Chain A
Amino acid sequence: MLDLDFEIIGRTWKYLFFDGMAFTIELTLLAMAGGIIVGTMLALARLSSFTPVSALAGGYVNLIRSMPLVLVIFWFYFLVPYIGAWLIGSKNPLKIGAFTSSLVTFILFEAAYYCEIMRAGIQSIPRGQILAGYALGMHYWQTMRNVVLPQAFRNMIPVLLTQTIVLFQDVSLVYVLSITDFVGAADKVGRRDGRLVEMLLFVALVYFVMCTLLSGLVRRLQQRVAVIR
């Protein structure tokens, strides 16, 4: 019979949430913002009529989407300091830090997924809307910025947020860089006190509750933001 003692949660929840979860949420939000911006640029590039640009963007997205995230996190953490040093001509590897490294990783990784979502969103806007923008004298960027992207973004908010929930779970992988996210924090105190099973059960419960609530929110939002056509 398992001998479970959940008393440890009462002692450590402040640390778990204010250190661990705060970090997880911070990284999730920053990576989402960066990922959507980079992803939107990638989507525009993929839809470009200039073949080299669209091929390059398409290649990047396909490459990233065929890589395990853990691998990319490792790569970035170990390679980027050297690449950065080489780029600026420094002899020593740059000190980038685990947080910056993982943030850049997540932005570049998630951008590939956000790109595909934004691409679908942009393609769902009728061609007549683009022609109307052009007919009023707006150039490509003005039409994208003022006509196409706001509508594409609004149509895609539910899907973008669903991807963000996946990102929220994926952030736990920074554990491989010994960063104290929510899972990392629980792992640390669990090992220290010999109560790892209890901690991991608790972590699973928290993820389940938060993700279920967020999904519910996304569903309600979906009904509210739809543009009347």
Chain B
Amino acid sequence: MPPLIEIKNVSKWYGAFQVLSNCTTDVSKGEVVVVCGPSGSGKSTLLKCVNALEPFQQGDIIIDSISVGAKGTNLPRLRSRVGMVFQHFELFPHLTITDNLTLAQIKVLKRSKEEAIQKGMRLLDRVGLKAHADKYPGQLSGGQQQRVAIARALCMDPIAMLFDEPTSALDPEMINEVLDVMVELAQEGMTMMVVTHEMGFARQVAHRVIFMDRGEIVEDAAKEDFFSQPRSERAQQFLSKILQH
């Protein structure tokens, strides 16, 4: 069986500046892959290329045997099957939590309102926020908003989930409530690609760790190998800095 997400020789330029050079990796079904690296290394950009929120000029990405880069691909349809969680949550501030959860279910998946609400409430309950269904995003804390954002993505029954630094914008005391939800998801067998600096999370649930630097995938190794004996010098330096405290 081919991997669920295949990234093949992807390169991307902003004008003359190359942000991604020849990135190749894959994510199998049920696999949790953590992408780390210094800021500006292209990890968020690579993640956004996966569901075509960022275009790329060379190479291709295949999701469940559909090409992201091909001209005729129905991108909205493809994106509806891949959940995405953003650094800044990006809940819709003018809609209640319930409406945030049901909007795309109704408009994109054409579910009935009742069905969408039922599904939304089940997932909201799962992230422990059922009591907040009628509030607006601005009335919730950052950690709560991010959990709603995860529930919103799960409402679409995604085949894989992409996380773009999901805890970077959070106060320290709110990070764990979000990571708990993500750990649970990982343990249930969700296919996940996670850009994060949370090495504790990587140690706990990741199968593989990808290390990026200057737009290149420098290291792509099983978790145990990555933490015990990183091959590249850059990864060693990075790890020693990030794990010092």
The range of chain A's interface size is 20 to 34
Q: With A147-B92, A227-B94 in contact, do A134 and B108 touch (Cβ < 8 Å)?
A: no
Asked if A138 contacts B53 (CB within 8 A), the reply is no
A229 CA / B91 CA spacing, docked (Å)? 10
A142 CA / B108 CA spacing, docked (Å)? 9
B39 at the interface (CB under 8 A from A): no
A194 at the interface (CB under 8 A from B): no
- Please tell me which stretch of A81-89, A97-105, A125-133 contacts chain B, meaning at least 4 of its Cβ atoms lie within 8 angstroms of it: A125-133
Q: With A134-B79, A136-B79, A139-B76 in contact, do A228 and B139 touch (Cβ < 8 Å)?
A: yes
A68 at the interface (CB under 8 A from B): no
B138 at the interface (CB under 8 A from A): yes
CB contact between A137 and one of B77, B91, B94 (< 8 Å): that residue: B77
Interface majority SS on A: helix, strand, loop or mixed?
helix
Q: With A134-B79, A136-B108 in contact, do A228 and B53 touch (Cβ < 8 Å)?
A: no
Residue picked from B77, B90, B103, most chain A C-beta under 10 Å: B90
Q: With A137-B80, A228-B136 in contact, do A132 and B108 touch (Cβ < 8 Å)?
A: no
Chain A residues within 8 Å of B77, by CB = 137
Q: With A134-B76, A135-B51, A139-B76 in contact, do A227 and B93 touch (Cβ < 8 Å)?
A: yes
Chain A residues within 8 Å of B88, by CB = 126, 128
Asked if B93 contacts A151 (CB within 8 A), the reply is yes
A136 CA / B154 CA spacing, docked (Å)? 10
How many residues of chain B get a CB closer than 8 Å to chain A's CBs? 31
Chain A residues within 8 Å of B137, by CB = 228
Chain B residues within 8 Å of A151, by CB = 92-94
Asked if B138 contacts A137 (CB within 8 A), the reply is no
B27 at the interface (CB under 8 A from A): no
B84 at the interface (CB under 8 A from A): yes
A134 CA / B51 CA spacing, docked (Å)? 9
- Hey, what's the 0/1 contact readout for B137-160 against A, CB within 8 Å counting as 1? 111000000000000110010000
Asked if B138 contacts A136 (CB within 8 A), the reply is no
Q: A138-B104, A154-B94 are in contact. List 15 more A-B contacts (CB 8 A).
A: A129-B92, A131-B86, A132-B84, A132-B86, A136-B108, A137-B80, A137-B108, A137-B156, A147-B92, A151-B92, A227-B138, A228-B93, A228-B138, A228-B139, A229-B93
24 A-B residue contacts at CB 8 Å? Answer: A128-B86, A129-B92, A132-B86, A132-B92, A134-B76, A134-B79, A135-B51, A135-B83, A135-B84, A136-B156, A137-B76, A137-B77, A137-B79, A137-B108, A137-B156, A138-B76, A138-B104, A139-B76, A146-B92, A154-B94, A228-B93, A228-B137, A228-B139, A229-B93
Query: Which A residues lie at the B interface, using CB under 8 A?
Result: 126, 128-129, 131-132, 134-139, 142, 146-147, 150-151, 154, 227-229
